[in-house]
Every structure is written in C-alpha cells, then in structure tokens.
Structure 1
Amino acid sequence: MNGISHFLGARHADPVSSSMPGSFPRENNDANARSHSHNFKGFLKYLSFALLRIPLFFSYCLLSIIVSTFTYLNKLSDFGLLYNRKTTDHAVELNILIETLSNESLSYNSTTYNFGSIYNPQSQGIVSKSIVESYTSLLNSCTQNFKFGLIYIHDPVNDHSLKFVNEILCNEEFVHLIKKYQMLYWFGSILTSEGLQVSNALKFRKLPAIGLLCLTNSNKIELVYKIEGTLRSSNFAKLDRVLSKYYPQLMILRQQKKNTDMHRLLREDQDARFNESLRIDRERERQRIEQLERENELANREILKKQWLLWRKTQLHTPTQGSSCQIAIRFNGTERTIEKFDPNAPIEEIYVFADLYRNKLLDSDEVYDEPPLNYQHKYDFLLAAPSPRTILEPTILIKDEATIYPSGNVVVEDVVD
C-alpha cells in the first residue's frame, strides 16, 4: 500500500513545482518516474499472486473437510447398524469382540503381552477363566462370590481405542492386579445394545472406558473406579489403592458366606438325618400295621372257614349199608385214617372230610345251619391217588373214579402258594 501511495503521489505532484527555478535537472525527474513505474509493477505482481493463492487455500480446506467427513461417516455407518440389528446372543457378541481385539492387538508391539494371550479363552489366556458372558452374569457372579467386577466398553469409532487396549488392558501391572485380586471381567462394544445400555447406566462420558464394580456395605454393586477416554486418566497406583480399600470388606463377606453355607449344610445334614430316622420309624409303623391287618384278616378268615366247615359237616352224605366206598387217607406222610363214603356223592365229600380232619373239627359239638355270608371256601390241599398218581377232581362222583372205587388210597398234598 505504501508503494501505491507513493505511486499515486508521484502521479499527482504539482507540475508547477517541477518547473520552478532552482529545481533539479530533468534527468533526475526521469529517474524518479522509472522508480515509480517499477513499484507499480511490483504491486501488480503481488496482487496477482494474492488473488491466485486465496482460491487455492480455500479449495484445500474444502477438500480436507470432505475427506474427513467421508472418513467419519464410514465409521458412523457401523454405529448406525446398532439400531437395525436383531437381538443376538451375548456370548456370540463377546466372542466376536475378543477375536477382533486379539487380531488387532497383534500389530501393536509396545507391550509385553497381546490382548489374545491375556483374555482370549480359545487361546487359554492368562486370566481367560475369569471372563463372564454378559453384564447381568457379571453382576450375579460378583454378588454371589463377593469379587470385583471389571468392565471394558470398546469404541471402534475412536482411533485411540487400540492404543487404550494395549497400553492399559495389556499392561503387565494391570494384568497383575487382575490376578492378585481375582477379578471377574466382561467386555462390551458400544455398537451392541448391551454395551450401549451399560455405558449409559454407568454414565461413561468418554469412550473407551474401564469401570471397576464392587459390592459395598449397602449390599449393592457400585462403580468405585473408572478410566475414561484417554491414557492420561489411567493411574494404576490409584487403582491398586481402591482395590486394597475394598478387598478386606469382600474377604469378610466371603467368610460370612462360608460360615452361613457351613451352618446351612450342617442344618441340612441334621434335617436329613432326622427325616431318615422319621422315615424308618414310619416304615416300621406301616409294616406293623400291615402285619396286624394281615393277622386280623387271617384270623377272620379262619373263623369264617371254621363256620363254613362246620356247616358243610352237616351236609355230608351218610353211606348206606352195603353201598359204600372205603378210602384210606394219609396225611403228612405218616398220619393215616380210613373212612367210608357214599359212592354216589362227589369226591368233594372226601375233600370236606380231609379238611375237617386237618382242622380237628370232626368231633366238634358246634353246629352251623347256614354258611357264612360273603365267604368262598378254597381248599389249601389236593387229593391224589398214589398209583398211578392221579389228582382227584372234586366234581367227579366217587364211583366214577376207578383209582379209588370201590376202595383205594388217597394222599393229602399241601398246595404251596
């Protein structure tokens, strides 16, 4: 601008003053004119360069904005799938996340361990046995076993997530704390519904994030420590102090649970012994009652049998003079008696006589004119002719059985039930 002012000032100089007496020679005026012309050309060159540079600068800025926008839109497109995906198994989501982090961690060489060697169950990682499949399972396990719960929410959109994983989760001091305090842990992605819900519930403001859960004196699971967003927020010494603060309380709760379980087992064992003793006593009582019922039933049956035999005794046929069948009956292999029967009577007459003889009722003075009600008599023995051995049927007439008529031998054989 100074060149412009100088140039314009030279063009509008007073012409009268240039021709005044005592002025410089004309050659000096020509030199000044050439100087002004040179300055004007420099201004034009500067102006042309400025007019060309400004559009190029804005074009570069615009292109940078477009490239950055497309890069982030590509990442956010995955995040948009969260609202369109169907519900999947939590275990499947966890396995996918662990496999992804394990593969990505292999390219990171600044740590002693890689992610897969520590946390991947398929490669039998250092602490892989402490992983749980879902956030709900983590809460239940921490409550039942009185252990710390470690949560990691992964953000694949964040370019610093992999560095966060390798510098914190794969840090040797961090892994040592997990093993020292026997933590249970669960990993989730912000791109899953479960990971998003957990992140909102724990009020993580920056991702990726790590949270430490612990059962407090109020018997509630609470977030007692967290690392959010950047590596600057990590402090393993502070994490160790927090763990040391709550660990004795968890040990007390574990001991209380152990004592409670022991008392419960003792009580269950006592109850089992008592119930077994009670069951044995009840079984004995049941058997005693059943035995008593059987004895009463047998006694009643014997009474009815006696009444029936005494009634049937009055119905026996008396053989007539000169018309009889003489039968020798042998009992139990040694005892023997001889009796005459009416040949026109059925063989059942011999069964009745044998039954009366076995029950010692032949000489009884008791008499029953009618049979007992609701009683059906069954003979507990068989009559057989010995040679050849022939079972005598009660319904056949005596005279029709050649083995015993007009005389014969009969053996009484007990029927074994």
Structure 2
Amino acid sequence: MLIFIENTPRTYAWGSVDALPEMLGTAATGEPQAELWLGAHPGHPASVAKATKQPRTLIDLIESDPERWGVDGKDLPFLMKVLAIGAPLSLQVHPNAAQAAAGFAAEEERGIPRDAAERNYGDPHHKPELLVALGEMTALSGFRPLADARRDLRMLAAAVPTGPSREALHTAADLLTGEDPAAARQRFIEWALSGDDAAAAGVQGISVIVRASQAADLELDPLRVAVLSNLVAAHPGDAGILVSVALHALRLQPGEAIFLGAGQLHAYLSGIGVEVMASSDNVLRAGLTVKHVDVDEVCRIVDTAELDEPKFRAERCRPGLVAWRPEVPDFQLMRVRLHGAEEEAFDAVGSAEQIDLSAPHPLVLIATAGRVVIERPAAEFAEVAVVKRGQSLYVSAGEPIQIRGHGEAFIATVGESFAPRADTPVCR
C-alpha cells in the first residue's frame, strides 16, 4: 500500500523561521520550525494523512497489523527527518548499543523520570545518524589532526593580550600534544568541559578575538572564523566554543553527507537537510546548549580517535539513483532524480525517466523537488500516488515500485545488513 503521511514540524529555538514552510508549501508562523519527523518514533509519530475522521498515527497503523505494515512484524528501526537549522544545535554524542542499553537500565533502576532534565538515556537504543544537505550546510563533525588544532589554538593565543586567556589557549594547545593522540584529546575534552577557570579564560579569549574581528587577520581558515563567530554569537561563554577548535569544520554542498557513528562529537550549525537515524532519541550534550550536560558521561562515551574523512560518500547505483549505506543495520538512504517528458527538473545526466526499486521492507519517501509518481503495478490492485514537493509517502513492504516524474525524492529503508534478501534495494 502507498499511504500519504504528514506531521507538524517541531518548534525548537534553533530552527529556521522560513526554510521548512518554504519546502512544505505552508505558511510561516513566525516561530522557528526545526524538525519534520517522518516515522513511528513514539516521541512524535507521523500521522496517516486523511485516513479516517479520527487521527491515526503511523504507530497505530503498524500496531493494527505488524506483519502487513511493520518491518518483519516489528516497529520501524529508523526515523527520517528534515532539519531546518537557523542557529547552532548542541555539541553532542550518541551512545553505541551496549552503552545505551546499560545507561537506560541504570537510570530506570535509579527511578529517574524519563522526562527529567537530567536524564541521559530516554530509551535503550543506539542512535547512528546520517545527514544529507539539501542546501548549503555547515557542521562540526569528528576530531581533526592534533597538529591542525594546535596550530589554530596557538594563532588564537598570539592574538590575545598577555594574561590568563593567552595562557589558557597555550594550555589547550599543550594538552593536544603527545604520542597517543586519542589520550591527548581525552585530556583536552575533560579540561575544556571541567568548568575550570582557565578553560573559561580560553573561551573568553576566543570570544574577544572574534568580536573584535581580529580572527580575520589570522591565518585561520575562513570557514573556521565563520564557525567561531557563529558559536560566540549564539552561545557566549560556552565551553563548546573551545572544544570546536579540535573538530572538523565542514561546509556541505547539496547532496553531500556526513555520518555520525557512536561517540562521534558533532554539531549541526546551519542549513537544511534530510536526516535518517536509528529510531532513538538518546543525546548526550557536551556544550552549546542551556540543557543538561553530564560531563562525566560525555567523556566516557566520546570517541577521541581522529576522523580521517568527515564526509560520507554516496554510492552511485545507476543514472538517477544514489544511496548512502553506512555499516549499520537500521537504515540506508536513497535519492532519486527524475526528468520527465513534459518538464525537466534535472538534466538528463545524473537523472532518469524511471527508477525501479524493490521493497521487501517498508520505505519512507519525501519529495524535495518537483513531482514524482510512485506506482506498484504488480500489486493485487495496481496502486499509484502522485507526490509533490514537501509531501511524504509510506510504502508498505511488498512488490517492487516504479518511480517516474520530474523532480527529486529521498527514500529511507532498513540497511542491507538488517535482513539480507535477494530483492533488497542495492547498488548494482
């Protein structure tokens, strides 16, 4: 079955006022609209559009007949979102499966309410996630080489007048030194997040330079300067400003992606993109937020290894179809681009007139440009759905689908290792 789904965007302070309304074709409300959730996560499940007089969520649909609507008789293991970022999100990490299960069980045993501000684990699941840019995006993601971070910290220190701030930035650079890079980063993170007066002085020093526009006179990468300026304006005095110097600063162009594995320190800073993740809401914040920061737990969970390549490359399957397939069972994300006979939203190079996909597991689709037509000609009763930009569709497991039209759509489903089958969508 092809079922339209919809949801109300979540209004967080970091959201964009106009990006999601523009994509969805709805009126802006004046509030920052941050996230559109398209899945069956209990925190904010999507609704079945115009199904009955009584509202019905995707959870209700799956529970009514798990074998028909779910994934092998169970809930969806993934959640798709559209993120519209008007201000930096918190600096954060996500636990692996074992850490999430243990952390959740410990907090349950201690009787911490699941909605308590100090709660770290809202569920017992891991939360790997993948973000693909729809427009230009900026982000912090993973640790960069020690030498690069040291160089920038010493340049920043040289621009600060003699005093505690200069000394603190030199201390930060010294901490990022040693024969064991992971251990050096661990020391640096623990110190930067400790609340120590010296670490606070380092943050203050960076803030003074940025506000005085002195960073533009340094040999810092322009993107690094822009990131520091953004963070100082959004979160003055926050330790995450200092930590950010040790991380990769990225500018993603449309179609570029990052994958966040367990323990990878990251923060999304600006732009709009499609995100898919394991169906979990476990977030351990490390800074750039007014919310709860459990420094000890962050320092225990964080992966301090260097991230060699922060961008995650797509696999080009065939004309018009690419896929991002990290080595997790929970999800993969595909993008189709189509050029129809009547109107061309994309050049013929890199797009196709029709894409055929098998669907042994449910698919969640959102059109991000133009109009796409989804057909299931081999179904008992032939099905067809016309999905316009901003509309979303839930495709139950079953016969293959054909996708035509003119435009672009993103499709989330389970990963190849979830339950390998001969008809699982693959790049071949």
Say whether the fold is shared (TM-score over 0.5).
no
Classify the TM-score, shorter chain. under 0.3
> Which structure shows the bigger proportion of residues in helix conformation?
1
| Structure of greater Rg | 1
TM-score, normalising length: structure 2: 0.18
Relative contact order (C-alpha < 8 Å, sep 6+): which is higher?
A: 2
TM-score, structure 1 as length reference:
0.18
Which one has a larger percent strand, Structure 1 or Structure 2? 2
